[in-house]
A and B are shown apart, each in its own frame.
Chain A
């Protein structure tokens, strides 16, 4: 790699936190809203319970209609699902903001964005709101799976010490 190319790559890397921190916050704050701002959102007996959102996805969802119906008819499963989903949003949203395991965090966030989009994608009274959210968040998050984020990030430190990623046996897993 020539010096010029290497320089360009570094410049591109330095731009990534602009997206990374906002994208991470979108997911981390989703957890905050349910756990800190309005805990009733996670209370199955409250009218604010987010579980009810899944009903609104049913009429025009793609691929996951049967899963949504089954989950809604089994309230304990629905609650467990929401807890796991909220933890994933909070943990990997924070990881993405901090630039910790950016490649893995990007992949998880992409799957969360696209997963919700399969249900909520048809909803949006003003614009094509939910579809736009899912499409752009999924694509943006996947960028980090391929690019990592090695500036203003914990990965910056980790990659200096372990440039080939996490080493398990003879495998190098590129988490950053």
Chain B
């Protein structure tokens, strides 16, 4: 009788142990594939910054609302936007903001989604911390023709794309 109870106890233990084994191994393999696609197409999104500009707006009175989210790159440093170009569909540059201009945007013109780690100007660049999503109010010093415009951002490393993501967005100018 006592022997039977010990066997049942042992079986319960083994069953739970196998569940534990599956959970631990499953976590390891599933997250390996989800975070790094390690079983198919290995990548590491922490290596270099990437930005998404979707949701940006251009107005015919020259106002530009840059919507910028930093979705890749190191967690403790950067990224730094040092050049922002507004271009026509034919590739002609309408206006561009250089590092000095991007480095001196008043904080009141920047609206951050999250209160911590805000996007801010640091005299040298527009700093966009990992995970933050901000809208930045900019002004072209002349009126814009109605039509289609593209905004392109450049990281301080000179790149305007990473991991197949272009740091650009194409939008219709809105009447203001």
Interface residues of A (CB under 8 A from B): 49, 51-53, 55-60, 62, 72-73, 75, 110, 114, 117-118, 121-125, 128, 131, 134-135, 138-139, 142, 145-146
In the assembled complex, which residues on chain B have CB atoms less than 8 Å from the CB atom of A56? 75, 117, 129-131
We find that the number of chain B residues with CB closer than 8 angstroms to chain A is 32
Can you list 22 A-B pairs with a CB-CB distance of less than 8 A?
A: A52-B129, A55-B116, A55-B117, A55-B130, A55-B131, A56-B75, A59-B70, A59-B131, A60-B45, A62-B31, A62-B35, A110-B24, A123-B75, A125-B44, A128-B32, A128-B36, A134-B27, A135-B28, A135-B31, A138-B27, A139-B24, A145-B20
Whether B142 is near chain A, meaning CB under 8 Å from some CB there, is no
Determine whether the beta carbon of A114 is less than 8 Å from that of B27: yes
Determine whether the beta carbon of A57 is less than 8 Å from that of B131: yes
How many inter-chain contacts with C-beta < 8 Å in the A-B complex? Answer: 87
B82–chain A nearest beta-carbon distance, Å: 21
Whole-angstrom distance between the alpha carbons of A89 and B113 in the complex? 29
Whole-angstrom distance between the alpha carbons of A56 and B20 in the complex? 30
Whole-angstrom distance between the alpha carbons of A73 and B32 in the complex? 29
Determine whether the beta carbon of B31 is less than 8 Å from that of A125: no
In the assembled complex, which residues on chain B have CB atoms less than 8 Å from the CB atom of A53? 75
Whether B132 is near chain A, meaning CB under 8 Å from some CB there, is yes
Determine whether the beta carbon of B35 is less than 8 Å from that of A60: yes
In the assembled complex, which residues on chain B have CB atoms less than 8 Å from the CB atom of A49? 116
